Amino acid sequence: MAEISTIKSVRVDALVAMRIVKHATGAYPTTVYGSLLGMEVDGVLQITNAFPFPTSTEDDSSSSALTPKNKGVMWYENEMIKCLREVNVDANNVGWYQSTTLGNFINSNFVENQAHYQSKMSERTIALVYDSTKGAQGGITLKAYRLTSQFMVAYKENKFSSENLQKHNLTYKDILQELPLTLYNSHLATSLLHQLSIPPQPPSILPVSLTSLTNPPTYPTPTYPLTSNFNALDLTIDPVLEKSCDLLLESIEAHNTEANNAAYYQRSLAREQAKISAWQQKRKTENSVRAAQKLPPLPEDEWSKLFKLPQEPSRLDAMLISRQVEQYARQVDGLTATSSAKLFALNGGIPRF
Amino acid sequence: MDRESFIHLTKPAVTSSTTANPLQVVICAQALFAILDHSLRRSPDQERVIGTLLGVRSEDGSEIEIRNCFAVGHNESQEQVEVDMDYHKQMYNLHLKANPKEILVGWYATSPELNTFSALIQNFYASNGDGTYPYPAVHLTVSSNPGKDITCRTYISSSVGITPDRAADSCLFVPVPYEIKYAENERNALEALSLGRTSLDRQVSNIVDIHGLEVGIVELLEMLNRVSSYVSQILAGETLPSVAIGQTLMNSLSLAPKIDAPELEKLFNTHLQDVLLVSYLANTIRTQIDLSNKLATITGTLPSQPQKTENKRQRERE
């Protein structure tokens, strides 16, 4: 098996981060998709530009999601890259991005898209996933993923039977590989950020009444400096936590359905096999009787014509669901970790009268 | 941001054109980042680069929000200027496909200078047909000189010149006020980005929630210190007291809930235990899934263990 890719980490430009956030926020709660441009330097994938995919195309008005595999989207992507090349943008397609709510992005669609990129474009493409729900709580939740090479091999063969999985040593944990991600500011962007963070000048005159304090006069022009907000100090994560738990339960439900399917297959397989062995037994005794009567023996492999073994259901869905459950569980874990830290801190600080 | 003060008056309604009415310009931070990126990518011999601004205009045209932009190639020499108009049109159409709401509102240049060529380009963007007519086109200049502050200026234009010939290649740039705006999510993203503004390699890695928490707490402590030093200054008679500020402080203090300590502690502990239980269950589920998959690959069956955990969780939630 070839070594996993040459990309070791991902560096995202401030511009790209802002573009994705803006696109995702503008279309919330719809999932949005877009293309990433950049280049790879010494194992670091530098993503320097991004553009959104169109919301509708003329030649394809079907309601199917406009994902990177769509023909119209591919045309759009190529046109856009051709245009951007003229203004000195790093015009290499290095992947795509999508928005998500609470990490519910692991499904066959995601895998199909990324597999499409990794097989058609190049091995060195990634998917950026931006979580807009968590983004509202503070910080930026941007993750870079790619499919592992083991998974790609299995995906190309399109065989996800238990045998095959065992052969490739593939478990649900090996579907996606998360790459370390850093955010990068250009010198000019750094300069801009510094300027945006200059706190407002305190007014020279003290406010005269309550209303003048709460509704400051419009002159001097109100500025919105980048002073930090206190979302991170919020104690109530309950709505988010509850939603995450709901999603977790849903995916467990789906997992159970898959489990039942697999169990059903297992049972019917066992039943068929029992029938076959009974038939083989019968044929054997028949043959021994015929041998005693000096007659030619009947063929013993006729069973494959008489009985049909059930097809093993693809294990891909089950794997993806498992991965999704894990994603949710991790998320819940992360949420509760910060929350309990805050609670412990606060509990220690409450004055006891 | 550095800004100049200027006065902006409505002209008496003598001309039929609406192009010189005062208006408010709102710039999204994202557009600024894109302009700066374009400025970095210009060829070394180019003094400035230009591009098209896209955005939304309020119904009466008095407020313009610049949401997006794209670069347009152009060539400038002593005598003439060439702007790739076909490229502009093609890009504009592509952008419209992705974002039908964002329409043409003006153009930007990455130099604070206004010259004859600026007037020519401005007249193109404000023209009838391809331009923004009858609304004014906004011209945004973003200076990107090394070592200096990044200064933005926004202008609209008003036509000058006596003959139509003169009017076509000249215009008067009227400065208009602007503000930089960002939505809540964008603000959070900016905050995360600005964590890297003091580091030498200008990078932010390991974006974790705890970091935001730390920054928040530090800031909160600073504010508390400021307030308490202000109050003690007043008590010592060093500064003039303000009734309004006193009232606000009073109001905020009275917001503290009045619950007796044991009750509060009990509530706290229950909540804390709930949170910890959820975390414990989440980890259990992870183990179960892992186990279930391990068994599945060995025997080819998926045992349905997670059922148990699920029931537990549902009980807990109820």
pLDDT tens digit string along B233-290? 988 888 887 888 888 888 888 887 777 778 878 888 888 888 888 888 888 888 888 8
Q: What is the pLDDT of residue A2?
A: 41
Residue A226 domain-assigned (yes or no): no
Residue B13 domain-assigned (yes or no): no
Across the interface, do B71 and A87 touch by the CB < 8 Å criterion?
A: yes
Residue B71 domain-assigned (yes or no): yes
Quick one: B141 and B287 in the same domain?
no
Residue B118 domain-assigned (yes or no): yes
Quick one: A20 and A169 in the same domain?
yes
Q: What is the mean pLDDT of chain A?
A: 78
Quick one: A176 and A251 in the same domain?
no
Q: Which amino acid would we find at residue A290?
A: R
Residue A213 domain-assigned (yes or no): no
Q: State the smallest CA–CA distance between residue A239 and chain B in angstroms.
A: 13
Chain centroid offset of residue B73 CA: 25
Q: What is the pLDDT of residue A350?
A: 65
Region of residue A118 (left: phi > 0; alpha: psi -120 to 50; beta: else):
alpha
Q: Bigger pLDDT: A129 or B161?
A: A129
Quick one: B161 and B285 in the same domain?
no
Range of the domain at B232: 217-256
Q: What is the pLDDT of residue B1?
A: 47
Q: Where are the beta strands (DSSP E) in A132-170?
A: 142-147
Looking at the 3D structure of chain A, how many domains does it have? 2
Residue B164 domain-assigned (yes or no): yes
Nearest residue to A142 (alpha-carbon basis) of A132, A150, A152, A151 = A132
> Is pLDDT of B311 > 70?
no
Across the interface, do A18 and B30 touch by the CB < 8 Å criterion?
A: yes
> Is pLDDT of A10 > 60?
yes
Quick one: B130 and B64 in the same domain?
yes
Instruction: Return residues 174-233 of A near B (CB < 8 Å).
Output: 180-197, 206-210, 212-214, 221-224, 226-233
Q: What is the mean pLDDT of residues A187-196?
A: 82
> Is pLDDT of B19 > 50?
no
Instruction: Return residues 317-346 of A near B (CB < 8 Å).
Output: 318-319, 322, 325-326, 328-330, 332-334, 336-344, 346
Residue located via tokens 């006065």: B7
**A112 backbone dihedrals φ, ψ, rounded to 5°:** -60, -45
Q: Bigger pLDDT: B315 or A318?
A: A318
Nearest residue to A97 (alpha-carbon basis) of A30, A14, A33, A24 = A33
Region of residue A253 (left: phi > 0; alpha: psi -120 to 50; beta: else):
alpha
- Specify the pTM: 0.80
Residue B133 domain-assigned (yes or no): yes
Quick one: A88 and A183 in the same domain?
yes
CB–CB of B79/A72 below 8 Å? no
Across the interface, do B216 and A183 touch by the CB < 8 Å criterion?
A: no
Residue A169 domain-assigned (yes or no): yes
List, in sequence order, every residue forming a beta bridge with B82; answer none if it has no partner.
B75
Q: State the smallest CA–CA distance between residue B94 and chain A in angstroms.
A: 7
Quick one: B179 and B118 in the same domain?
yes
Q: What is the mean pLDDT of chain B?
A: 78
Residue B2 domain-assigned (yes or no): no
Per-residue pLDDT reduced to its tens digit, B194-242? 777 777 777 777 666 677 777 778 888 888 898 899 889 988 888 887 8
Q: What is the pLDDT of residue A220?
A: 43
Q: Bigger pLDDT: A118 or B300?
A: A118
Last residue of one domain, picked from the residues A157, A188, A219 = A188
Quick one: A137 and A247 in the same domain?
no
| Residues of B with Cβ-Cβ distance to A41 under 8 angstroms | none
Of B187, B272, B290, which has the smallest distance from its Cβ to A340's Cβ?
A: B272
DSSP state of A297: P
Across the interface, do A11 and B203 touch by the CB < 8 Å criterion?
A: yes
> Is pLDDT of A85 > 70?
yes
Q: What is the pLDDT of residue A227?
A: 57
Quick one: B54 and B41 in the same domain?
yes
| Residues of A with Cβ-Cβ distance to B306 under 8 angstroms | 252, 255-256, 325
Q: State the smallest CA–CA distance between residue B162 and chain A in angstroms.
A: 36
Across the interface, do A353 and B71 touch by the CB < 8 Å criterion?
A: no
Quick one: B76 and B95 in the same domain?
yes
Of A53, A188, A256, which has the smallest distance from its Cβ to B306's Cβ?
A: A256
Per-residue pLDDT reduced to its tens digit, A136-162? 566 678 888 888 888 888 888 777 777
Q: What is the pLDDT of residue B225?
A: 92
Quick one: B239 and B268 in the same domain?
no
Residue A3 domain-assigned (yes or no): no
**A99 backbone dihedrals φ, ψ, rounded to 5°:** -95, 160
Of B182, B242, B268, which has the smallest distance from its Cβ to A347's Cβ?
A: B268
Q: How confident is the model at residue A84 (pLDDT cuts 50, 70, 90)?
A: confident
Quick one: B29 and B155 in the same domain?
yes
Quick one: B38 and B181 in the same domain?
yes
Looking at the 3D structure of chain B, how many domains does it have? 3
Residue A158 domain-assigned (yes or no): yes
CB–CB of A162/A45 below 8 Å? no
Q: Which two tokens stand for residue B246?
A: 């006193």
Q: What is the mean pLDDT of residues B302-312?
A: 47
Cα dihedral B7, B13, B17, B18 sign: positive
Quick one: B106 and B87 in the same domain?
yes
Q: Bigger pLDDT: B68 or B1?
A: B68
Quick one: A183 and A252 in the same domain?
no
Residue A83 domain-assigned (yes or no): yes
Percent of chain A with pLDDT over 70: 80
Percent of chain B with pLDDT over 90: 3
Instruction: Return residues 98-127 of A near B (CB < 8 Å).
Output: none
Q: How confident is the model at residue A60 (pLDDT cuts 50, 70, 90)?
A: very low
Q: What is the mean pLDDT of residues B149-172?
A: 78
Per-residue pLDDT reduced to its tens digit, A222-235? 445 555 566 666 76
- Reduced to 3 states (helix: H, G, I; strand: E, B; else coil), residue B78 is coil
Quick one: B166 and B28 in the same domain?
yes
Last residue of one domain, picked from the residues B205, B235, B256 = B256
Across the interface, do A263 and B191 touch by the CB < 8 Å criterion?
A: no
Range of the domain at A116: 9-188
Instruction: Return residues 264-323 of A near B (CB < 8 Å).
Output: 266, 312, 315, 318-319, 322
Residue B282 domain-assigned (yes or no): yes
Q: Which two tokens stand for residue B133?
A: 């007519």
CA atoms of A19 and A8, how far apart (whole Å): 24
| Residues of A with Cβ-Cβ distance to B185 under 8 angstroms | 21, 24-25, 132, 135-136
Q: What is the pLDDT of residue A222?
A: 44
Instruction: Kindly give the interhelix angle for B261-299 and B306-317, rounded to the nearest 10 degrees.
Output: 160
Residue B196 domain-assigned (yes or no): no
Quick one: A14 and A96 in the same domain?
yes
Quick one: B229 and B126 in the same domain?
no
